[in-house]
Structure 1
């Protein structure tokens, strides 16, 4: 008689950790979600445990319990040690989500790492994000050994992304008209679908996969990336024809105040070339050998559309007003004064990015 698999997700209320919990519930696992409960609601079907991992006492609710698999996405080294002390000895497998921001060089593919922060660091600054994750990796590796899988994702995209790096493009294409896009077309872009990632991490835990590896899909040129989004929207019945794209040089866009990555006045998924080409061309062979399979871009786009387009609230990208100003400057024409009204219709709201550049 089989025993129900016991899975612990530290976090479990936001984005990737929430997706892991949902997928585990769908597989019939007994899922425990443990967090402060301040960032979101746990998924249906889980056992929720409120904890404060910054203190030993805050972990008492889990201390001594056995789990077949533990998943952790923490970014502060000081929060790793107490969890390992409480849980590592009774965990069958430990999956830690790191980031490709651990790599020192952005412009070339290199495995040279940042120097880690101190193991007790509580510094949340983005400037030490990669270094903090290395310190977290080291703590997990030292304590769990061959029971630990450490994965380094690039951009994680899909429903639930609070930076909405993918979402700008399908929504903007659906609005029609002239669409400003960043050249050059061949600049690489790379991502991992949040559902693909969650499913793979669960598979890897069940198979007892260990080691350290990048978690990312194969890179694609930006032109092919936008073509894939358009194709998916046409197949999904959202568009009847391809969007009218105006390719502009990255130097012009930067001069006009268009920002990379996410947040206000940005193009999601876009970073300048060649400055970031290395981080957008990471190797995929280790993850593939360990069982990772990436969904076609069209499937990722359709999942995002179905989850968000009914009540779109754009959380990253250019406002239509800003896009109109840049297009007017490119064509040396007057600005269309009516574009600001379109922002109100699309419920445009771009907060400061909530998570670091590479993972969610």
Structure 2
């Protein structure tokens, strides 16, 4: 097959390209190349998707599949205009952030979406609405050839968001002298999918020209069970210091990600469904997730290789956590 990855130098796109080459396909990646190089065997076409003629070098080819990871509507619009007429199968990687509400556990693809934001924007608060606009462009242009994969939280080695690597690394390197780790006392669900499994599934769908709009994420697991898996992988035997969501909010600890946060924790009840969405449609199309312990073992190894003391995009600093553990123990 001739596969065009629109991206291919960052995390998921690079994994898709690498697996496609390993499977014997002829792979081209169109990207600016600012996120890094392409995997060995992939042809890089350097182009800025905002520039006129961005797709000129690839528009004359009959592609068996295009895989697009764009988040800007103009990028999707331009790609479809240049390539849809000569492409057999079109996979667009969307996001579970397209949904208007996150409070319903088990919601499927029929759940209400955000209103589309049709202009390009870098603001985080428009991300989901821009993905809605991108989805609509794809489904309008190639309705019978499109796979729209609404990805949930992606995990695994290379997680530059620092969300899925935080817990195994923290359990392996506690912030306190006695090895205690601060954890949310919450029944919220978690739902992560290894980047390698998502890439393999996207490639398999391209090979089989699979279509549809589907949630692409991993099995649902209670936060406590996820943390216990991370703890086991890291070999942690220290104390757990559980605190409520009210305590965390009162001490200015943010959920999910960002500075001074606890990754994977989400407030209830408003986020009860964010990581408990139905993936039955994706599983029917062949999505398979590896065991969580395998993902976390490999993520921990990658985290250690990057240096445990590096600046992070999510989590508590060791100093912050040690101080919070002391406060939690004093209050108990």
Shorter-chain TM-score: what band? over 0.9
Give the secondary-structure state (helix, strand or coil) at the position aligned to 2:305: coil
Tell me the distance in 1 between the aligned counterparts of 2:251 and 2:215.
34
Q: CA RMSD in A?
A: 1.5
Instruction: Give the aligned partner of residue 357 of structure 1.
Output: none
2:161 corresponds in structure 1 to: 163
2:149–2:213 contact (8 Å) kept in structure 1:
yes
The 5-angstrom pairing of residues 110-259 of structure 1 reads 110=107, 111-118=111-118, 121-176=119-174, 177-184=179-186, 186-233=187-234, 239=235, 242-259=237-254
Tell me how many residue pairs correspond in the alignment. 320
Q: Are the aligned partners of 2:7 and 2:30 in contact in 1 as well (CA < 8 Å)?
A: yes
Alpha-carbon separation, structure 1, partners of 2:238 and 2:225: 13
Identify the structure with the greater strand proportion: 2
8, 11, 25: which one pairs with 2:7? Answer: 11
The Cα shift of 1:314 comes to 5.6
> How far has the Cα of 1:282 moved from its partner?
0.2
Contact 1:167 1:314 in 2 (8 A): no
Equivalence map 1:264-283=2 (5 Å): 264-283=259-278
User: After superposition, what is the alpha-carbon deviation per residue over 1:115-136, rounded to whole angstroms, capped at 9, x for unaligned?
Assistant: 1123xx1122222211111110
Q: Matches of 1:25 and 1:56 in 2, distance apart?
A: 29
1:47 equivalent among 23, 43, 46: 43
**Structure 2 Cα separation of the partners of residues 217 and 135 of structure 1:** 25
Q: 1:148 Cα shift?
A: 0.6
Runs of 4+ with deviation above 3 angstroms = none
Tell me, yes or no, if structure 1 residue 302 matches structure 2 residue 297: yes
Mapped partners of 1:153, 1:292: distance in 2: 12
Question: 2:267 & 2:12 partners in 1: Cα distance?
Answer: 26
Q: Secondary structure at the match of 1:140?
A: helix
Counterparts of 1:275 and 1:100, CA distance in 2: 15
Contact 2:168 2:233 in 1 (8 A): no
Asked if 2 retains the 8 angstrom alpha-carbon contact of 1:168 and 1:314, the reply is no
1:262 match: 257
1:29 aligns with 2:35: no
Q: Give the conservation status (yes or no) of the 8 Å contact 1:230–1:243.
A: no
Distance 1:69 1:311 in 2: 34
Cα distance, 1:159 vs structure 2: 1.5
Q: TM-score, normalised by structure 1?
A: 0.85
2:258 counterpart SS class: coil
Contact 1:150–1:212, Cα closer than 8 Å, also in 2 = yes
Structure 1: distance between partners of 2:228 and 2:77 = 45
TM-aligned CA deviation for residue 243 of structure 1: 3.9
Tell me: CA distance 1:25–1:307, structure 2 relative to 1, closer, same or farther (3 Å).
farther
Superposition deviation, residue 46 in structure 1: 0.7
* TM-score, with length taken from structure 2: 0.92
**Is contact 2:241–2:328 with CA below 8 Å preserved after alignment?**
no
| CA deviations over 1:124-177 (Å, ceiling 9, x no partner) | 222221111111011111111221100101111112221110111111111240
